């Protein structure tokens, strides 16, 4: 299993904080945001990791993270997304890095408290298809929403105007090699991006889309300023009160 962290985009929803830096370099309590998804993958036992970034601050990631040795990695790989063309486009950049392996994708602004080690092992055992992760939200209009019937996903709708479910697809995914063939067949959406929802619906049609509901806190720190503050407050309280929490690692 390889790991992919997506840390591109312009972060317009966090302006003016992101006017001179990448949003994934903003602080979440006592460390840069990008540390959290990186630690999530490392805790799950994933040692081969690539970070996809873009814009004018790509070099800052290298200065901050270096070769990844402070996180227990022998090497940290980097990729560059030249234009903001969506999640699926960013994943395509890593095709050569992934090779024939299964891989986990995590968005760089998603703070996930759950230990995903078990999910990684489960998907490795399945060995094919895709696995997505869901979490109940109070604002389903802002996310890709999954409709579940009899413990099976019936469809996924991107930012529905009238949502009939509150189960959001969070920024954590697992895929097999087949994803790259489908990405090449995608066409841009109305907002000019290659949508990950289209990929997930492709696996759904093939009856190879699995899902799990993640436990504990999940925060989309890039959603808006208020959500960033909420994530900061939660993480700060958790780290201060729970000295045994895995977020308290100081390996970096």
Domain at 33, CATH number: 3.90.550.10
How confident is the model over 211-229, as a mean pLDDT? Answer: 96
Q: Running DSSP on this structure, what letter comes out for residue 14?
A: G
User: 235 in a domain, yes or no?
Assistant: yes
In the predicted model, is pLDDT for residue 252 greater than 80?
Answer: no
- Count the Cβ atoms, other than its own, within 10 Å of residue 6: 30
In the predicted model, is pLDDT for residue 158 greater than 90?
Answer: no
- The pLDDT score that the predictor gives to residue 251 is 66
Contact of 105 with 91, CB cutoff 8 Å = yes
Here the tokens at position 208 are 């190879």
130: helix, strand or coil: strand
How confident is the model over 224-245, as a mean pLDDT? Answer: 95
Give the C-alpha distances (Å, rounded to integers) separating 250 from 174, 239, 247: 27, 12, 9
pLDDT class of 203 with cuts at 50, 70, 90: very high
Per the structure, the complete domain to which residue 120 belongs is given by 2-127+171-176+208-248
- What is the domain count for the chain? 1
- Count the Cβ atoms, other than its own, within 10 Å of residue 66: 12
Which tens digits make up the pLDDT trace of 55-70? 888 999 999 999 999 9
pLDDT class of 17 with cuts at 50, 70, 90: very high
User: 107 in a domain, yes or no?
Assistant: yes
The phi, psi pair for 181, rounded to 5°, reads -65, -40
DSSP 17-50: TTSSS-GGGSEETTEETTHHHHHHHHHTT---EE
Say what the pTM is.
Answer: 0.95
User: 162 in a domain, yes or no?
Assistant: no
């Amino acid at each position: 299993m390889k790991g992919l962290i997506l840390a591109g985009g312009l972060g317009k929803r966090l302006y003016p904080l992101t006017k001179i830096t990448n949003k994934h370099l903003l602080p979440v309590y006592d460390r840069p945001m990008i540390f959290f998804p990186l630690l999530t993958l490392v805790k799950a036992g994933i040692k081969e990791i690539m970070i996809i970034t873009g814009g004018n601050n790509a070099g800052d990631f290298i200065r901050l993270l270096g070769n990844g040795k402070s996180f227990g990695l022998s090497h940290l790989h980097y990729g560059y997304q030249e234009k903001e063309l969506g999640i699926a486009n960013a994943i395509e950049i890593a095709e050569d890095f992934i090779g024939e392996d299964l891989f986990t994708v995590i968005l760089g602004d998603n703070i996930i408290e759950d230990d995903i080690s078990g999910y990684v092992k489960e998907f490795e055992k399945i060995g094919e298809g895709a696995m997505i992760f869901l979490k109940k939200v109070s604002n389903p209009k802002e996310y890709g929403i999954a409709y579940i019937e009899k413990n099976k996903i019936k469809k996924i709708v991107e930012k529905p105007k009238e949502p009939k479910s509150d189960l959001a697809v969070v920024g954590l995914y697992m895929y097999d090699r087949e994803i790259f063939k489908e990405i090449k067949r995608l066409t841009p959406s109305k907002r000019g991006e290659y949508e990950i929802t289209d990929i997930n619906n492709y696996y759904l049609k093939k009856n190879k889309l699995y899902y799990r509901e993640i436990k504990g806190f999940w925060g989309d720190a890039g959603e808006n300023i208020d959500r960033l503050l909420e994530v900061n407050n939660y993480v700060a309280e958790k780290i201060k009160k729970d000295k045994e929490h895995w977020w308290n690692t100081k390996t970096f």
